[in-house]
Chain A
Amino acid sequence: MDAFRRACVLALLAVAYLFVVLPAGLAARLLRDPLNRALRPDARTYWSGPRA
């Protein structure tokens, strides 16, 4: 029963990942990188103000 439940959870996660996380992630990256990964060699600073 436990193995069955784990398999169901995994399946649900896979569906969520494939149909929500992956497309949303790709779309989000087209607009703006959620992780702000871009290096800016010419910038003077990377500091940002306090997060609300």
Chain B
Amino acid sequence: MASDAPVTTVLGLSAYYHDSAAAVVDGGGIVAAAQEERFSRRRHDPSFPELAVRYCLDEAGLALADLDAVAYYERSDLKFRRVLATYLGTAPRSWSSFREVMPDWLSWKRRAPDTVRERLGALFAGPVPEIRAFGHHESHAASAYLPSPYETAAVLCVDGVGEWTTTSIWHGVAGEVVPVAELSFPHSLGMLYSAFTYFCGFKVDSGEYKLMGLAPYGRPVHADLIREHLVDIKDDGSFRLDLRRFAFQYGQVMTGRGFEELFGGPRREPESPLTQREFDLAASVQAVTEEIMLKLARTARRLTRESRLCLAGGVALNCVANGKLAEAGIFDELWVQPAAGDAGGALGAALLAQRGPARARSHTRQGRDAMRASRLGPRFDDDRIQAYLDASAIPHRRLGPEELSRAVAGQLAEGKVVGWFQGRMEFGPRALGSRSILGDPRDPAMQSAMNQKIKFRESFRPFAPAVLAERAKEYFELGQPSPYMLIVARIAAQQQLAERDPGESSGQVSEPASGQVSGLELLKVPRSTVPAVTHVDRSARVQTVDAEQDPAFHRLLTEFDRLTGCPVLVNTSFNVRGEPIVATPEDAYRCFMRTNIDTLAIGGFLIEKAEQPAWPENDNWRELIPLD
């Protein structure tokens, strides 16, 4: 292919570590993107995203041979060098890790583009297009800047690690991402946060947002210890970890004995009761993370002289830190890639591979981003849903869009919990009103009911609100739109209730006689007029819903507001703990029947739990889903 030939239609891939995904872009923009886990039903599935690729090609109406190129989201050759350098640098302690991972690295992982070519060739007919590999952080940066609403921007990418880079600043300009500065492995903010995730007894690469949710229950009493003994932070936000207390660089665990000495004991065993120590550790690492992110942002502003910031990388999913960034006013505007983790790398790589008019066109959007409200996954039309309902003899009613909104809003206003399955599936970890479970946020019992009886998850975990975009400021101190639920803001003063809990201002959690600290103790105290979405520190992870970008969800919120005077709903992902968000009508009905969701609104159909036949499963299904 001539080097200056236009490259328009591209399949992007991320695979082999966690959150494999595929994305297709063409001359009109982003056509499709999806994580493999949604199809394989394996949470954070790292395997080659065959099912996601098939979906994306089907959605685009393309065969593999129709593509101009395939783009892979990282340089496996450079990553291999980092892996080798790490083993060299940590021998002999690295032996147990070396023996586990080297066979795969030597046989196929170090030449991932060839491995991808072989897989695509085996799965699809016809020649495999040219495969191009881009840098991991470059892919993140592209996923943040190229679909953003901005002509030019500073771009900050922060994660665990790509090839070598863990933190990078870029300048997004004229459809390109130009590297400015970076920090390298093993000095990683993502690894620092994951180390505390591990030490507090949660799973690495999936439990970080639980640690973030835990933080408001504690106080940052260990922040100084972290700064003194774990990380040296410079004024410009650059940092280095003191590796003597960590184990991730050589072992298969995150922390060493140094952590236990520093924080007064061994790590918390998974699923064991949480104590004040974990709450305080969460608060402390969160405070340090926010400090670093703010300093990184100031440096990004100084080096690029841009007034808008784009964010990506796994740490960009820390929406509390994003909220502090937005509040700090370092930048005039902030945009976070909805799939900020490695799944988004597939999209970034695809966009990077485009050349010519398709790439030049990526910034003519008049202030709107190009993510199509991050609804990039499969949709199921009413005929398809009807066929499934009929084949499975599922009692249902068929309603028009307005009637459906009225019926669902009415049920929500009565305190029922509704599974909402509409339109194209979201791309990224958040449910945004396409694959959501919804509830009434005014109900103080809703948070505990949803955690215990529907999501089957830890009691301390908060729920997040969706709000009509035009009414958001009445309920939240939010200075900008938040369509992707990636910014945390305080509840507006006029919605807050007077402080009643004597322990609240100190952040102390009262300990029952058993010694087990329970989040329910704090959560039972209403803090606002929307208690189910108000976290214990009076914050919320807000989704603003725009009529143009999401008419169906906006219509529902409008109807709920008409009935209740409240334009807010609890919006949580349509899944139970440990499983991926539902993708198909079959997934949705299964989740609906396994839980205490009252009603399922799927396409133009309303399905009432009371009318359903007995579900032919006992509760043992929960044992089949690995806990996250």
Contacts and interface: CB of A to CB of B under 8 A. Distances in A.
Given A13-B99, A13-B102, A13-B103, A48 B181 contact: yes
Interface string A14-35: 1001000110111011000111
* Interface size bracket, A side: 20 to 34
Given A9-B103, A41-B232, A47-B238, A35 B180 contact: no
A29 B182 contact: no
Contacts of B179: 49-51
Contact of A35 (B98, B165, B186, B238): B186
Nearest to B165: A51
Nearest to A20: B88
Interface string B50-91: 000000000000000000000000000000000001111111
Contacts of B185: 35
Contacts of B184: 36, 48, 51
A39 to B, nearest CB: 5
B87 A50 contact: no
Contacts of A17: 87, 91-92, 95, 98-99
B236 interface: yes
A3 interface: no
A26 B99 CA distance: 19
A10 B89 CA distance: 21
Contact of B239 (A25, A36, A46): A46
A36 B89 CA distance: 9
A24 B232 CA distance: 29
Nearest to A26: B91
Contacts of A25: 87-91
A13 B103 CA distance: 8
B232 A14 contact: no
B186 to A, nearest CB: 6
Contact of A51 (B90, B94, B164): B164
B243 interface: yes
B86 A35 contact: yes
Nearest to A46: B238
Interface residues of B, number: 36
Give the most central of A40, A49, A51: most B CB within 10 Å. A51
Contacts of A26: 91
A13 B182 contact: no
B509 to A, nearest CB: 35
Contacts of B240: 37, 39-40, 46
A40 B187 CA distance: 13
Given A44-B234, A50-B181, A34 B99 contact: no
Contacts of B299: 47
Contacts of B89: 25, 28-29, 33-35, 37
A43 interface: yes
Contacts of A47: 181-183, 236, 238, 299
Contacts of A33: 89
Contacts of A22: 91-92
Interface string B238-256: 1110110000010000000
Interface string B160-194: 00001100000000000001111111110000000
Given A10-B99, A34-B85, A35-B249, A50 B182 contact: yes
Interface string B183-218: 111110000000000000000000000000000000
Nearest to A44: B234
A14 B92 CA distance: 11
B348 to A, nearest CB: 17
A9 B100 CA distance: 11
B238 A24 contact: no
A41 to B, nearest CB: 6
A50 B182 CA distance: 6
Contacts of B235: 44
Given A13-B99, A36-B184, A21 B236 contact: no
A17 to B, nearest CB: 6
A10 B99 CA distance: 7
A46 B103 CA distance: 34
A47 B90 CA distance: 23
A49 B181 contact: yes
A28 B299 CA distance: 33
A16 to B, nearest CB: 8
Contacts of B187: 36, 46
Interface string B136-179: 00000000000000000000000000001100000000000001
Interface in B442-461: none
B182 A48 contact: yes
Contacts of B242: 39
A10 B239 CA distance: 37
Nearest to B178: A50
B291 to A, nearest CB: 15
A35 B238 CA distance: 16
Lowest 8 CB-CB distances: which A-B pairs, in order?
Answer: A50-B179, A46-B238, A25-B88, A25-B91, A34-B89, A34-B85, A35-B89, A47-B181
7 contacts: A13-B98, A17-B95, A39-B240, A48-B181, A48-B183, A50-B180, A51-B165
Given A17-B91, A24-B88, A51-B179, 10 more contacts: A13-B102, A14-B99, A17-B99, A40-B240, A45-B236, A46-B234, A47-B183, A48-B181, A50-B179, A51-B165
